[in-house]
Structure 1
Amino acid sequence: MLIREATTEDWPAIWPFFHTIAAAGETFTYPLDLSFEDSRAWWLLPEPNRTVVAVDETTGTVLGTAKMNRNHLGNSAHIASASYMVDPAHGGRGVGRALAEYTVDWARRSGYLAMQFNAVVASNEHAVKLYERLGFTVIGTVPDGFRHPVHGYVGLHIMHRTL
């Protein structure tokens, strides 16, 4: 697997799984009806932020993607954040872990002091466990902060890791 900078030419390969994941309403706080153009603008971030794709080196297939950015501006600009999407057709192959490790390394190399995820859906147990294995801890939970389409109202974790 190769992780490389994402380009606008990658968006047609990202869009199908991005749209499926966002429209399902189970793991992201995005509007369920984001358009192709709006989604691209939200995901493909300009410098100094970064968006990458994980690509199968043999086939060139985009397996997943991550975006990395400042969590806040001004006097809180030293905290990074990231978001991840893995094509469900390629889940269970370590793509999410590789992307998460990449973003932590990027944040460290970029001079950030910590990473914080503001909205990790508590019922997304796979993601919570992965982040915990990578050194993140839940520092707070917004009770009933997310309306899950299957589980109803669930907590929305804030997760943090010092770099």
Structure 2
Amino acid sequence: MINGQIRDKEVRVIGEDGEQLGIMSSREAMKLAQEAELDLVKIAPKAQPPVCKIIDYGKYRYELARKEKEAKKKQKTVEVKEVRLSPNIETNDLNTKVNNAKKFISKGNKVKVTLRFRGREMAHMQQSKHILDDFAKLLEDVAVVEKPAKLEGRSMSMVLTEKR
């Protein structure tokens, strides 16, 4: 809320250079703001009495937007990358997939390892669990199992994350 929108009887006023001007009526605070050719902005509406500051509103909004943008830059989004395997995978193919997973983990992403079953492979689902265990074992120096292997329909999957 700014200027005329502030309807409180009394407000605590902070000057343009940050010093406390004390508690006064909102009309008096508005006069002070107009004399300084600035805006009266309600900063803490929940306080008793509400806190208002005499500042340039456009500049204040710009500063808030800049702080928000800066905070957004510092955020790190974690993606989940997927590595798909099949039950009859050969050793060299498995090593290639392990190297890909290492790259993903080193970049700070999570890796979902999925073992897909098709046709007759469905009959030997439990015997193929060792492939996922081997995969986790090969990555145990850089990754830790976040979600252990779990059967979901035609696939078995687990999630690996970076070791802390």
TM bin, normalised by shorter chain, reads 0.3 to 0.5
- Tell me the TM-score normalized by structure 1: 0.32
Structure with the greater alpha carbon radius of gyration: 2
Structure with the larger RCO, 1 or 2 (CA within 8 Å, 6+ apart): 1
